[in-house]
Structure 1
Amino acid sequence: MALSELTTAGIAPVPGILDTLREVAARDRFLSALAGHQAGEGWMPLEDLPTSGMVERQMVGLGESYGTRDRRVIASMLVLRYGWYLAAPLIGSYMLEGKVPRTTGNVEVQPCPDGTLLVAFLRDAGAVIEGDPAESLPEVVAVGSREELRAGLRRELVEAHEPLVALLGRVTPFSTRTLWRMLADRWGEVCAWVGTVMGDPQGCALEGQRLLELPGAPWRRPPSFVYLEHAGRGRTFLARATCCCSYRLPGGAKCSTCPLLPEEERMAKMLAALEGSE
């Protein structure tokens, strides 16, 4: 892993939170964000995104791309995209190396017309567990336990997404609570994916369940994780609490983990996916 370059004389470089973000990106591109990025054309502070008009323009672009005016479908696609791009680097850093990057005042984004979102963390700022060498960095806070760090991760996730939820709650048919449940589903999917990357699907599912079940969440009912095995192969599925609405698109169908399906059908579809027949 690369080491943070500290310019203060006499202080040995230590692995920082930006280094962790780079390591996560090197492990898997779906968990990646830019680290140490400086502002450029098209980039804006995360806090400015809801007032920039870009979210509304992205919704128009998504509707045109998918041939739909159904604002439930469009909003669902957008919140799930944002829920991955913003959350994946945070959850990946926590799961892989026990570090939680700060989001407030430390993230820039570049929204694209197709609904994608480039994310960049600016400084070595965030939280680690006591004893981590990164606690010596000026903007890093050390906490006493994994439980405290997990609570800090959930706090960062909520704070990073609050402006988007507030905006979509005003311009779409979804309540803010439903939007939060969609995000909880998405974050659960990120946890399951990190489990695949780490080769520890059950351990990451357990961490994900603990993360999403923390008291005080803006969603009432979190998703649950289901681990299935067949013919020597195992896979973690997320039994989602909300529907992604993709079945409302032309030619669409309900996903294997859709909560609108009867439980028996959902289990059958998950087993079929595990067996490779879907």
Structure 2
Amino acid sequence: MTVTAGLGPIDTVDDGRGPLARTLDRVGAVPAIEVRHGLPDTGEQWIGCAEVLGDPAVFDRWRKRLADWLSERHKGQIPERTTSGYIMSWYLQVPGFLAGLLFHTARRVPSLRPRDIAFRLSGDRPHPDGIALLSDEFACLPDDPESHRPEATTVADDRALAALLRARYTAHAAKFVTAFGPGTRFGRRTLWAAATDALDSAGWLAGRSCGDEGAGVADSALLLPTAEEPLTSASTLRAITGENATVWTRRRESCCFHFALPDQPACTTCPRLTEDERAVRALSR
């Protein structure tokens, strides 16, 4: 029976809900974000990824809301490149983290089609604080206890499963690049660099959220073993060892332009930092 990272055997009790729903019931309560199967029966506002990508004006309204929120806190003019950089990263983390979490915890890859994913924005800082998977379809390994189900597709091994995840994620990211790009000053390379960042972070953040950062880093290496176009690099995660600790960090391919806000430093993963500066920052956290 398949054993997931630090979570014990996958639950195969059929309670009328599908395998992905039961998996997300177990692992979806990770820090800072809710990941669930299906939409709740409440008055919460959820946004379908297909809706956003089909109407780029949604991005304009999202940028305006973020600019207002940042302006209240930083008391100054908020650069368009900062709001665009934040939203570029936030959106791509929706399919990226969803896929990374299921890959890390259950070696399952869900559908990543825009019509099969929705997200919820926080009522304060307008970032995604909830992700909903709306499909029961998944790919898995031959030893998955649910591999016999009609919604399951099996692949040979971890590398094949990671390649399928990468292909599904890249297809979603391509739709994002087409929808989001014309409304910003970012070029195609920057947009695909951000897509690469979100995928590289997916396994790492899933592992960290579930208590096994090292296993998450290994997952990111599986997901991005090389720079495969249109993605812009292999995984940039690396260990930094200080006198009393070893920590993981990475160099971003893209930039969120946080440093362009009044009196704000560059992020630890910012490509503008030297590797020595990054090491000092990472070890001081």
Output the TM-score relative to the length of structure 1.
0.83
Across the two proteins, how many residue pairs are aligned to each other? 265
- 1:51-96 per-position Cα deviation (integer Å, ceiling 9, x unaligned): 3332110011112221244221111100111222332121011011
Match of 2:70 among 51, 66, 70: 66
1:246 touches 1:252 (CA, 8 Å); kept in 2? Answer: yes
Shift of 1:245: 0.9
Tell me if 1:116 matches 2:127: yes
Cα contact 1:33–1:89 (8 A) shared by 2: yes
Answer with 252-261 or 155-164: which moved more: 155-164
CA distance in 2, matches of 1:182, 1:203: 23
Match of 1:17 among 20, 23, 28: 20
What CA distance in whole angstroms lies between the structure 2 residues aligned with 1:44 and 1:140?
26
Alpha-carbon distance between aligned partners in 2 of 1:185 and 1:271, rounded to the nearest angstrom: 21
Tell me by how many angstroms 1:151 deviates. 0.9
1:66 alignment partner AA: L
Q: Tell me the equivalent position of 1:10.
A: none
Q: Does 1:181 align with 2:193?
A: yes
Q: Which stretch has the larger CA shift, 229-238 or 253-262?
A: 229-238
Residue 39 and residue 213 in structure 1: after superposition, are their counterparts in 2 closer, same or farther (change >3 A)? farther
- Return closer, same or farther for 1:223/1:21 CA change in 2, 3 Å cut-off: same
* Mapping for residues 127-166 of structure 1, pairs under 5 Å: 127-166=139-178
Deviation for aligned residue 1:39? 8.3
1:101 aligns with 110
Aligned residue identity for 1:50: L
| Superposition deviation, residue 198 in structure 1 | 4.1
Q: Whole-Å Cα distance in 2 between the matches of residues 2 and 254 of structure 1?
A: 46
Instruction: Specify the SS of the correspondent of 1:100.
Output: strand
Deviation at 1:232, TM superposition (A): 4.7
Q: Structure 1 residues 198 and 2 mapped into 2: Cα distance closer, same or farther (>3 Å)? A: same
- For structure 2, list consecutive stretches of 5 or more residues without a partner in the other structure: 1-10, 72-76
Whole-angstrom distance in 1 between the partners of 2:263 and 2:227: 39
Query: Hey, what's the Cα distance between the residues in 2 that align with 1:168 and 1:103?
Result: 18
Q: Which amino acid aligns with 2:67?
A: G
RMSD: 2.6
Equivalent-residue separation in structure 2 for 1:257 and 1:38 (angstroms)? 35
Q: Is the 8 A contact 2:226 2:234 kept in 1?
A: no
> 1:48 maps to which residue?
51
| Aligned equivalents of 1:188, 1:176: Cα separation in 2 | 18
Aligned residue for 1:259, secondary structure, equals coil
Q: Structure 2: which amino acid aligns with 1:266?
A: R
Distance 1:204 1:48 in 2: 31
What does residue 5 of structure 1 align with?
15
Moved more, 217-226 or 251-260: 217-226
Q: Match of 1:237, as an amino acid?
A: T
* Structure 1 residue 207, shift from structure 2 partner: 2.2
TM-score normalized by structure 2?
Answer: 0.81
Distance 1:108 1:228 in 2: 36
Question: Offset at 1:153?
Answer: 1.1
Q: Percent identity?
A: 20
- Aligned equivalents of 2:48 and 2:211: distance in 1? 34
Worse overlay, 61-70 or 51-60: 61-70
Give the direction of change, closer, same or farther, for the CA distance of 1:263–1:44 in structure 2 (3 Å limit). Answer: closer
Give secondary structure in 2 for the equivalent of 1:227. strand
Secondary structure in 2 matching 1:108: strand
- Relative distance call for 1:88 and 1:233 in structure 2 (3 A) is same
Asked whether the 8 Å contact 1:226–1:238 carries over to 2, the reply is yes
| Unaligned residue ranges in structure 1 (runs of 5+) | 7-12, 274-278
Decide whether the 8 Å contact of 1:184 with 1:219 is kept in 2. Answer: yes
Q: Distance in 2 between matches of 1:40 and 1:51?
A: 25
- Bigger relative CO (Cα 8 Å, ≥ 6 apart): 2
- The counterpart of 1:191, out of the listed 194, 203, 221, is 203
